[in-house]
Amino acid sequence: MKFNLANSHGLREHAHDAEIAVLVFTRTEIELQQVDVAVDRLRALSEDGAKVRRLAGKTLLMFEGYDTDTRSLVEIPACVRFFRAIDREWSYWLHFLVPAPDVISLALLMLLDVKVGARDKDRSAFEVEALADLEALMTRLFDKMNALHDEFNIPEQLNREITEAVMTALSDATSRREGGC
């Protein structure tokens, strides 16, 4: 399997043959709020139908430079501002992100106002402040995914598969947190 770790310049050059994409947002980009650079990388994923099909559910996010910070990314204001600014210009997360509980929940939590709940040494629990905001966010993100699918004639079957995988990931994330895992 070929996978590409894309920095500021690499994704557009290598996305045509990648089987999985890892989008790296550096601490410098985040602290300087270099949103345009990040959005340009993301647009490389969504600019043609072949990449849209091939990288469906095969993209990961990496926030480089925060490994020693004990807070979750959701608790770091610069990361949240950066991710929300990107989302204002590119919102195809549900189509591209790997539909794993931690991946999907991170993206959603970064886009919502949340309260920090229980913590242990490896994890923090979060509570969405307004469930109506979660509903509105999910509607908006699925609408964006559907628009992308319409633009590139993505088969309805793939749309259903992605939707089911995202909903399963959310359900699994919720049940893990409620179960204390």
d(CA 60, CA 102): 10
- The helix (run of H) or strand (run of E) holding residue 162 is helix 156-178
Helices assigned H by DSSP within 3-155: 10-14, 27-31, 35-46, 49-54, 77-89, 93-96, 101-111, 131-151
5 phi/psi in degrees, rounded to 5: -100, 115
pLDDT digits (tens, 9 = 90+) for 126-174: 888 888 999 999 999 999 999 999 999 999 999 999 999 999 999 998 8
| Whole-angstrom Cα Rg for the chain | 16
d(CA 50, CA 85): 27
pLDDT digits (tens, 9 = 90+) for 90-136: 999 999 999 999 999 999 999 999 988 777 766 777 888 888 999 99
Question: Is residue 8 very low, low, confident or very high in pLDDT (cuts 50, 70, 90)?
Answer: very low
pLDDT digits (tens, 9 = 90+) for 10-63: 566 655 667 788 889 999 999 999 999 999 989 999 999 999 999 999 999 999
End-to-end CA distance of the chain: 31
